[in-house]
């Protein structure tokens, strides 16, 4: 079976590396949209369970070229849908069209649905389908006239870990927060501190990494409802993940954060509890200007307010200056800051050692990594 682990711009490489660590076969990072891999239903489930930076896991049904609706219809109808979909399956269709002859998503949906119905009519001898059973979400993506037809094996996006019930202002997706942790150079035995932690997403994702917790451990995936999937094998994979987490739960954690907003800290505490990490992450209400840490150095990771989010560039510049002062107050600490503020480095007071570009929703941002004792790029 061929699969796609879809991922946001900039996260494709991390998703590909994680797939290789999981043992997926023939992993290929795509130019846009994620990484392709091969494996059975068990591997598709492992990807759903363990991928930290991917958005969805999709089972590839077919790929073909189509420049007319007739070619699209015939291509969809050729797929052996009856091998996976039972006669009572629900099969809604999502469509996306980019730089192709066929550029009407609504028409692509209608043609694809008709083609599937025609195929299943012949397979099951039915004229009408109740669609009351398991959900098989069909995605038809057309890019440069190449049609990719997939089944969504995830259901809700993989960023929905289940611990965050309130986003607060300008939320950071869990998948992006995990990417910031993984790119920071932080190791689980080091200290990690978020001086403007908001509702705590970065801190929770860091704890998941440190404790070897599968991000999807406590949530449900659409493929678990498919009759064609070996349910016992999937249950065993989830049990193995639970055992790994239980084994590592007793590890020492050195993860903490603060925020000037008491309401944000209260939400962060709630999310930490809902993630099963009560008492493992230290949180307090504190102005960033009052943060000063002694002892062994570690890594600061921050998603500070920036102009598009606050609608106040002057306040964003002030936060950048405060972060620069924070690193100078804490010798030996590296500091990583995620911001869309184009003047961030100027206000911070030095050039970043490394940078990575990501998107927070539709906002283009840069991840600045300031290493201790290094002057950064010229």
Reported as a pLDDT band with limits 50, 70 and 90, residue 168 is: low
Quick count: other Cβ atoms within 10 Å of Cβ 108? Answer: 25
Least confident of 27-41, 166-180, 185-199: 166-180
What pTM was estimated for this model as a whole?
Answer: 0.94
* C-alpha distances out from residue 224 to 5, 14, 181, Å: 17, 25, 29
Element (H, E) at 48: helix 41-50
Reported as a pLDDT band with limits 50, 70 and 90, residue 282 is: very high
Higher pLDDT, 361 or 374: 361
For residue range 33-87, what is the model confidence (pLDDT) as tens digits?
899 999 999 999 999 999 999 999 999 999 999 999 999 999 999 999 999 999 9
Provide DSSP, 261-325: -HHHHHHHHHHHHHTT-TTTSEEEE--GGG----SS--EEEE----HHHHT-HHHHHHHHHHHHH
The C-alpha atoms of residue 333 and residue 223 are separated, in whole angstroms, by: 43
The C-alpha atoms of residue 67 and residue 320 are separated, in whole angstroms, by: 50
Cβ atoms of 239 and 50 within 8 Å: the answer is no
The C-alpha atoms of residue 255 and residue 206 are separated, in whole angstroms, by: 8
The C-alpha atoms of residue 339 and residue 171 are separated, in whole angstroms, by: 13
pLDDT at 346 over 80: yes
Cβ atoms of 57 and 3 within 8 Å: the answer is yes
Q: What pLDDT shows up at residue 167?
A: 66
The C-alpha atoms of residue 196 and residue 319 are separated, in whole angstroms, by: 10
Backbone angles phi, psi at 88, to 5 degrees: -100, 15
Mean predicted lDDT score pLDDT of the chain: 94
Residues 6+ apart with CB under 8 A from 230: 41, 42
The C-alpha atoms of residue 327 and residue 348 are separated, in whole angstroms, by: 10
- Bridge partners of 357? 366
Least confident of 5-19, 33-47, 246-260, 300-314: 300-314
Least confident of 31-35, 85-89, 307-311: 307-311
Cβ atoms of 66 and 97 within 8 Å: the answer is no
Q: How far does Cα 301 stand from its chain's mean position? A: 18
Strand pairing category for 192-194 and 2-6: unpaired
Q: What pLDDT shows up at residue 307?
A: 53
Radius of gyration of the chain (CA): 23
pLDDT at 31 over 50: yes
Strand pairing category for 282-285 and 255-259: parallel
Three-state SS at 32: coil
Least confident of 24-33, 276-285, 307-316: 307-316
Cβ atoms of 340 and 307 within 8 Å: the answer is yes
């Amino acid at each position: 079976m061929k699969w796609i682990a879809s991922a946001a711009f900039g996260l494709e490489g991390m998703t590909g590396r994680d797939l290789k660590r999981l043992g997926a076969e023939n992993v290929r990072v795509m130019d846009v949209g994620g990484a392709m891999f091969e494996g059975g239903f068990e591997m598709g489930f492992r990807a759903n369970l363990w991928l930290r930076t991917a958005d969805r896991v999709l089972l590839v049904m077919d790929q073909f070229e189509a420049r007319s609706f007739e070619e699209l219809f015939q291509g969809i109808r050729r797929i052996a849908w009856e091998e996976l979909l039972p006669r009572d399956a629900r099969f809604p269709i999502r469509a996306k069209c980019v730089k192709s002859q066929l550029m009407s998503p609504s028409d692509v949906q209608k043609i694809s649905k008709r083609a599937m119905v025609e195929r299943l009519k012949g397979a099951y001898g039915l004229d009408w389908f109740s669609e009351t059973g398991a959900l098989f979400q069909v995605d038809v993506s057309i890019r440069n006239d190449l049609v990719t037809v997939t089944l969504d094996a995830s259901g809700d996006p993989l960023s929905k870990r289940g611990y965050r019930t309130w986003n607060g202002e300008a939320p950071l997706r869990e998948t992006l927060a995990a990417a910031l942790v993984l790119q920071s150079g932080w190791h689980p035995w080091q200290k990690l501190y978020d001086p403007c932690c908001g509702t705590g997403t970065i801190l929770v994702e860091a704890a998941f990494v440190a404790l070897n917790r599968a991000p999807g451990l406590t949530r449900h995936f659409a493929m678990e409802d498919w009759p064609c999937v070996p349910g016992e094998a999937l249950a065993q994979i989830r049990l193995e993940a639970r055992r790994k987490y239980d084994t590592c739960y007793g590890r020492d954690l050195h993860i903490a954060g603060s925020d000037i907003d008491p309401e944000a800290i209260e939400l962060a505490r709630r999310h930490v509890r809902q993630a099963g990490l009560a008492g493992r992450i230290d949180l307090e209400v504190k102005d960033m200007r009052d943060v000063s840490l002694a002892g062994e150095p570690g890594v600061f990771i921050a998603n500070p307010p920036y102009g598009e989010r606050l609608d106040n560039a002057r306040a964003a510049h002030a936060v950048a200056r405060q972060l620069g002062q924070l690193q100078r107050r804490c010798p030996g600490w590296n500091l990583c800051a995620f911001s869309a503020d184009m003047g961030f480095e100027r206000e911070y007071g030095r050039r970043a050692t490394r940078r990575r570009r990501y998107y927070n929703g539709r906002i283009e941002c840069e991840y600045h990594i300031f290493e201790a004792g290094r002057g950064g790029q010229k």
